A and B are shown apart, each in its own frame.
Chain A
Amino acid sequence: AQKITQTQPGMFVQEKEAVTLDCTYDTSDQSYGLFWYKQPSSGEMIFLIYQGSYDEQNATEGRYSLNFQKARKSANLVISASQLGDSAMYFCAMREGRTGNTPLVFGKGTRLSVIA
């Protein structure tokens, strides 16, 4: 079974609008972390935001916020005030367990295109 599911292969958003990228996850661990990365065409993986399973508040980092709904096992990324430079692939990822020494498991990604 997929541990990370991103159901939107591609999304379009108008510049300056907000957009939500969906991510659902599957784990039986009580302790886990959820990550979002941006991958531009150059290939580098740019860390955007992190949410821990025990965090009660939704994470925010500048224009990025994570809508964490634990009971529904969803961790959607919200990008506010989209910019042309936001066009890229976006990956949701999860790390299971209590330590940070386990690898990330990635979803299939969502390609975001920002339109002027």
Chain B
Amino acid sequence: GAVVSQHPSRVICKSGTSVKIECRSLDFQATTMFWYRQFPKQSLMLMATSNEGSKATYEQGVEKDKFLINHASLTLSTLTVTSAHPEDSSFYICSARDGNRPLMNTEAFFGQGTRLTVV
């Protein structure tokens, strides 16, 4: 199956610093990428939808100035958590859609996830 690579898998940062998370589609063109956040023992909640070459669409309650999303190419989307605080500690995971396979019956391919801890 298609591969989505997410990096880093774990990161610990100091409060007030920024952290960048990368999501790459390795063998397909990802015209759309989705960023989710998962708090411990909870479900995945959509943060934003990222389309290549255009501004991301954020879900209600997600601060776009805090969670900067860039999708500059068909294979790379980045999520930058700016001025991180301990409450931003969470599991962040991306998924990518294969632009050449737009049919409904194709699963979203997920990255491995990034566990962010802000101290």
Contacts and interface: CB of A to CB of B under 8 A. Distances in A.
B34 interface: yes
Interface residues of B, number: 28
B118 interface: no
B102 A100 contact: yes
Contacts of B34: 103-104
A78 interface: no
Given A43-B93, A45-B93, A52-B105, A103 B43 contact: no
A100 B103 contact: yes
Interface string A38-55: 000011110100101000
Contacts of B103: 100
A91 B105 CA distance: 17
Interface of A: 31-33, 35, 37, 42-45, 47, 50, 52, 91, 95, 97-101, 103-109
Interface of B: 1, 31-32, 34, 38, 42-46, 49, 91, 93, 95, 97, 101-110, 112-113, 115
Given A95-B104, A100-B104, 6 more contacts: A35-B108, A42-B112, A45-B44, A47-B110, A103-B108, A106-B44
